[in-house]
Amino acid sequence: MTGDCSRQGSVWIIPLVATRLGDSPPGVVPDPAGVPVVASSPQTTPGTIQGFLRVDFDMANAKVNGATQPPRAKEPPIWWAASSKCSSAGCAATMVVVDETNHGEAIQANVFHLLDGRWVGEPTYEQKPCAKFVPGSSGTFTLKRSWSIDEQPAGVLSGMSTMELLGNCVTQRMQMEAPITITRTGDVPGGVVLADPAYFLPT
């Protein structure tokens, strides 16, 4: 119940019994045979991410803290092995980053979920030396990386890679976003074991 009568927010449950007395009176319920059939909208099958994928970075359009930067050196591609499954509750994909030269060696695993037509990966965290970004400095910082991939038919996909630097060797929060292109180049390499994405499906 809602309103200002002091019982707002309460819910009443009253048992009832329905007894069939006979057929419906003529004209109350239309004859189903005379009701036109309305065509249902075609169901969209969620996209899948499968196989061996090359991830290319568009550094020319990368941004740091939301601002466009001068042209940067081309970033080498990375390689993913991926498998995905869908249920009535949603879709999940498991991926591993593999070594750039030895494609049978898995380096880092991740899980993606399909949210509003976009594959979104769980954030990953890596420890990196401060000298990588601040020459001559010591210590380490945490590199937080996250991914999003637009759902498209099999073939070339697009998305965004987001890296955030966390730690004492950066004077302020630094976030870099770079567009990515993902191309399926074949099947998952032999020797690479992927977790069953069924274990990560939403319930």
95-111 pLDDT, tens digit per residue, is 999 988 888 888 889 99
**CA–CA separation, 148 and 110 (whole Å):** 12
Q: What is the pLDDT of residues 37-84, one digit of tens each?
A: 444 333 334 567 899 999 999 999 999 888 887 777 788 999 999 999
Section 6-19 average pLDDT: 51
Share of the chain above pLDDT 70, in %: 75
Domain-located, residue 14 = no
Domain-located, residue 117 = yes
Domain-located, residue 95 = yes
Domain-located, residue 153 = yes
pTM of full prediction above 0.75: no
Domain-located, residue 38 = no
Domain-located, residue 100 = yes
Domain-located, residue 91 = yes
Structure tokens at 4: 């200002």
Judged against a pLDDT cut of 60, whether residue 144 lies above it is answered with: yes
Q: How many CB atoms lie within 10 A of CB 170?
A: 15
Radius of gyration of the chain (CA): 27
SS3 call for 153: coil
Structure-derived torsion over alpha carbons of residues 49, 54, 59, 63, reported in degrees to the nearest 10: 20
In Å, how far are 29, 31, 32, 35, 44 from 38, measured between CA atoms?
18, 16, 13, 9, 18
Domain residues for 87? 51-200
Section 11-29 average pLDDT: 65
Alpha helices of 84-198 — where are they, by DSSP H? Answer: none
pLDDT score recorded for residue 156: 75
Domain-located, residue 60 = yes
Q: For residue 58, which of 49, 47, 69 has the smallest C-alpha distance? A: 69
- What is the tally of structural domains in the chain? 1
